[in-house]
Amino acid sequence: MAKLPDDVPDCMVFLLAKAYQKAHANFKKQLIPYGLTNLQHLVLEGLWYKQGMTAAQLGNFLILDKATLSGVLERMVKAGWVEKKPDDKDKRLLSIHTSNKADDLKKDLIKERQTANEEILKNFSIEEKILFKRFLADVISCE
Amino acid sequence: MAKLPDDVPDCMVFLLAKAYQKAHANFKKQLIPYGLTNLQHLVLEGLWYKQGMTAAQLGNFLILDKATLSGVLERMVKAGWVEKKPDDKDKRLLSIHTSNKADDLKKDLIKERQTANEEILKNFSIEEKILFKRFLADVISCE
DNA sequence: TCTATATAGTTCGTATACGAAGGAGTTTAA
DNA sequence: TTAAACTCCTTCGTATACGAACTATATAGA
């Protein structure tokens, strides 16, 4: 990953893709011991933020396509990370909950994310960290 | 894409993923009329930078896994965007070249990328643009 | 109340990603 | 020179992504 052409392309599409690619790959390695993928970890964090969200709410919260979410939830149910509870009032809804297996690892898993974030920003000053996050949030929320 | 929780997560892994997701989705729409995917466009830009690279060189240059590259090149050959030329001296090598079909669209396709980049950075000042790119390049090249 | 519309999830098809293993060709070293 | 080590590329398996079509359910409005 270290050897970019000397003039790292002056292209935001490329820079964002490769910065994400690297952060994703590093975090992926950290999660291997847990048997979790990055996306599955994200789903758990989302549910710990607000337990019992429906699949639609979760997708909205985490900016995930419903088709993508449907697949990952199926695998997470099979692996025992989450449970789907049908709603009595509205039979279309599925309320998603983390399992005990997941909750037991909550502290460790959140710690892993913090470690990953520190690793990404280890060479940045406090001011730069704040600015960087603001820039990214602006890109995401723009329009 | 606009409705993040008010406190956009203070998590770099998430911010990088979603900023990339948005940039990728926007550029994807721009490329639909050409029948090109984002990755296929990237491959063409790589070859225009240095025509005739081997698959390995191209993957190294664009930071692409060889397995990913093998698949996309196969589809691009099939669609007539690139050609593979075996090397006479080293029979393991495949020299990749853009087709006339691709070269005819070169100006337009490069313009599309520029438009996409401008869109991403439209709300940033000159100083912020430079800083943002430096931050991303630092993340990519770190270590 | 009954139909048009809208929403929640699933499923399908295609295209990345990428670890792992494999086949073919090349280099290195004893 | 020849076997071990390397390199290039392909193939396979699994997991995202996401547009599109589909089923089931709910709600709005005539």
- Complex ipTM tops 0.90: yes
Supply the Cα-derived Rg of chain A in whole angstroms: 18
CATH code (residue A102): 1.10.10.10
CA–CA gap between residue A97 and residue B65 (Å, rounded) = 36
Nearest to B76 by CA among B108, B41, B50: B41
Which residues in chain B are closer than 8 Å to A17, comparing Cβ atoms?
20, 23-24
Number of domains in chain A: 1
pLDDT at A143 > cutoff 90: no
Backbone φ/ψ region at A7: left (φ over 0), alpha (ψ -120 to 50), beta: beta
CA of B67: nucleotide with nearest C1': C18
pLDDT category at B9 given cuts 50, 70, 90 is confident
Average pLDDT, chain B: 94
Q: Is residue A128 part of a domain?
A: no
What is chain B's length?
143
pLDDT over 90 (residue B4): no
Residue B40 lies in a domain: yes
Quick one: average pLDDT of A111-138?
96
B57 is in which domain, residue-wise? 36-113
A10 secondary structure, DSSP code = -
The answer to whether residue B15 sits within a structural domain is no
Question: B43 and B82 in contact (C-beta within 8 Å)?
Answer: yes
* Beta carbon pairs, A and B, within 8 Å: 143
- Is B3 among the domain residues? no
Asked whether the predicted pLDDT for residue B24 surpasses 70, the reply is: yes
B38 membership: H or E segment, kind and range: helix B38-49
Provide the positions of strand C that have an atom within 7 A of a protein CB: 7-13, 15-21, 23-27
Element (H, E) at B123: none
Residue A98 bridge partners (DSSP) = A82
Does B29 map to a domain? no
pLDDT for residue B2 is more than 50:
no
> A26 in a domain, yes or no?
no
Look at residue B55 and tell me if it is in a domain: yes
B8 lies in a domain?
A: no
Is residue A26 over pLDDT 90? yes
Three-class DSSP category at A36? coil
How far apart (Å, rounded) are the C-alpha atoms in residues A139 and A102?
Answer: 32
